[in-house]
Chains A and B, each alone.
Chain A
Amino acid sequence: MALLTGAGIVVKLVLILLGLFSVVSWAIILFKFFQVHRANGESERFMDFFWKSKRFDAIASQVDRFANSPLTVLFNEGYGELKKVVETDGKSEGSALSTDLGGIENVSRALRRATNSEITRLEKYLTFLATTGSTSPFIGLFGTVWGIMTAFEGIGKTGSASLAVVAPGIAEALIATAIGLVAAIPAVMAYNHFQHKIRVLINEMDSFSTEFLNIVQRNISGK
C-alpha cells in the first residue's frame, strides 16, 4: 500500500491507466466468454435441429430459440433471400434455369454478407485485448523508468547511495511494470483463446453456408 501512495504523480497516473486497461480488458474477457460460449452451444443445438427438420419454414418458425448463434443469422438471411427470390420467380415466370442460378447467387451473396457481419460482431472489442496485451507492459515500463529516474534524482540530492535510500524508490517504480504485466498477460491469453474459438465459429459458418446452398440447389433442381 505504501508502494502505491509513495509513488510520484507520473507513476500514479501510469498505475491508474493500467488499472483502467485491466478493468476494461477483463470486462471484454467476461463478455466474450459468455458470447462465444453461448454462440457455440446454441450453434450445436441449432445444427441438430436443422438436420432433424425437413422444411425451412418449420426451422424459420423455431429459429428464435437460438438467437445467439451466428448460424441462425445466416439461416435467417439466406431464408429471407430465398423467399424473395421465390416470390419474384413466381411473379416474373421467366426462364427457369437463369432465375434459379441467379437465385442461388443471390442467396450465396446474402449468406456471405451475413457471415461477414457475424465475424465483425464476434471480433468486436477483441482488438482492445490485443492492444492491452501489447502496450501495457510498455506503459508499465515507462512508469518504472520514470520512477527510477525520480528515485535517482532523490539519491543525487541526498548524496547517499546506501541501499536504504535506493531500495524504496526502485520498489515503487517496479510496481508499475508488475501491474503492466498483470494487465497484459490475461489479455494476451484471452485474445489467443478467443481468436481460436472465433476461427472455429467462422469455419462452422462457412460450412453451414455451403450446406444451405447445397440444399437450396438440390431443391431447385429437383423441382
Chain B
Amino acid sequence: MVTRQSKADALFGSSLIASTVIHLAVFLLLVWYGRLFPAQINLQETYYVDVVNLPVAAPRAGSPVQRGHAAEAPPPPAPTSRMTMPALTQPKSASKPAQPQKAVEKSKPAAESSAEFAERMAKLERKAESQQEEATFERLRRKVSATGSGRSGMPGAGGSEAGSDYSAYIQSRLKDAFRETISYTSKSPEVVIQLQIGSDGRISRKKIERSSGDRAFELATLRAIDMASEKFTPPPNHKVFEGVFVFRPQGISNSKP
C-alpha cells in the first residue's frame, strides 16, 4: 500500500512537470506567434495625424499657395554645397558679355602681351563671380525677409494656411483637442484665453481674458489646452509665442494680440 502510494505520488509529480512544460510551451508559442503577427493596437499614434497639419512636418511642401510662392522666387541654394556651383558655371555665361570687349581689345593695334590679357580676363571673371554671389545672397535675403518678418511663422513658409503659421498650428491642435473635451451648459458660451508658449514648446502662461461665465465650458477649454499642449512643437526660431484664442462651441478662432 505504501509503495503504491509513493508510486502514485511520483506519477503525480511527473504529470505536474509535464503540465508545467506544456504550459510553458503554449505560452512561448503564443509569444512567438505574437512576434510574428504583432497586434495593431497603436491607435494613439495614428490619432493625431490629420491632413490639415501634415504640412507642419514639411512646411515647404505644403499648400498650393506655398507652391506658387516658391515658384515666384527660385529655390534658395543651399549655402554650403551649392554656393560653389554657380561660380563654376558662371564664367561661361560671363565670358559672353566679355566677348565684345575682347574683340575691342583685339582691334587695338597696341601689342598687348598675353599675360596682361589673362590678368584682365581673371579680373572680369572675379567680377562676374562676385556679382553672381551678390545676386544669390540678395535672393536669399529677400526670401528670409519675406517669411521671417512680422509674424512668427514656420521657417520657410510664407502662406497663411494652417500649418504654415505657428499660431494656426496651435489653433488646429487646440481644435482637435477641444473636439474631445467640449461641454457647456449655457446657450452660447465664449471664452477668450491668452496663451504664452515658451521656446521649449511648453505653455508658460495661460490666462482667461474674458469668459461668458459658463464654468463647464471654461473647464473644457482648459482641459483641451492641457491635452493639446502635450504634443506642441516648440515655436520656430526659439521665440516665445503669444496668442489669444477665442473658444466657442462652433470652433476656435485666433484673434491677434
Q: What residues of chain A have their CB less than 8 Å away from a CB belonging to chain B?
A: 1-3, 19, 22-24, 26-31, 34-35, 67, 121, 125, 158-165, 167-168, 171
Contacts and interface: CB of A to CB of B under 8 A. Distances in A.
Given A1-B31, A27-B12, A159-B181, A167 B43 contact: yes
B180 A162 contact: yes
Interface residues on B, range: 20 to 34
B41 A67 contact: no
Describe B's contact surface by its main secondary structure. Answer: helix
Interface of B: 4, 8, 11-12, 15-16, 18-20, 22-23, 31, 34-35, 39, 41, 43-44, 47, 180-181, 223, 226-227
Given A23-B16, A23-B20, A24-B16, A162 B47 contact: yes
B41 A171 contact: yes
Nearest to B41: A168
B45 to A, nearest CB: 9
Contacts of B15: 27-28, 30-31, 34
B4 A34 contact: no
Given A31-B12, A31-B15, A159-B181, 5 more contacts: A1-B35, A3-B39, A26-B23, A30-B19, A159-B226
A27 B43 contact: no
A160 B180 contact: yes
Contacts of A28: 12, 15
29 contacts: A1-B34, A2-B39, A2-B41, A3-B39, A22-B23, A23-B16, A23-B19, A23-B20, A24-B16, A26-B22, A26-B23, A27-B18, A27-B19, A28-B12, A28-B15, A31-B15, A31-B16, A34-B11, A67-B4, A159-B180, A159-B226, A159-B227, A160-B180, A160-B181, A160-B227, A162-B180, A164-B44, A165-B44, A167-B41
A22 B20 CA distance: 9
Contacts of B226: 159
Q: Is the interface of A mostly helix, strand, loop or mixed?
A: helix
B184 to A, nearest CB: 15
Contact of A31 (B11, B31, B227): B11
Given A67-B4, A158-B227, A164-B44, A35 B180 contact: no
Contacts of B11: 31, 34-35
B177 to A, nearest CB: 8
Which of A23, A34, A121, A167 has the most chain B CB atoms closer than 10 A to its own CB? A23
A168 B41 CA distance: 7
Residue from A3, A24, A160 having most chain B Cβ neighbours under 10 A: A160
A29 B180 CA distance: 52
Name, among B15, B34, B223, the residue most crowded by chain A CB atoms within 10 Å (CB to CB).
B15
B183 to A, nearest CB: 10
B21 to A, nearest CB: 10
B43 A164 contact: yes
Contacts of B181: 159-160
Contacts of A19: 23
Nearest to B180: A160
A67 B11 CA distance: 14
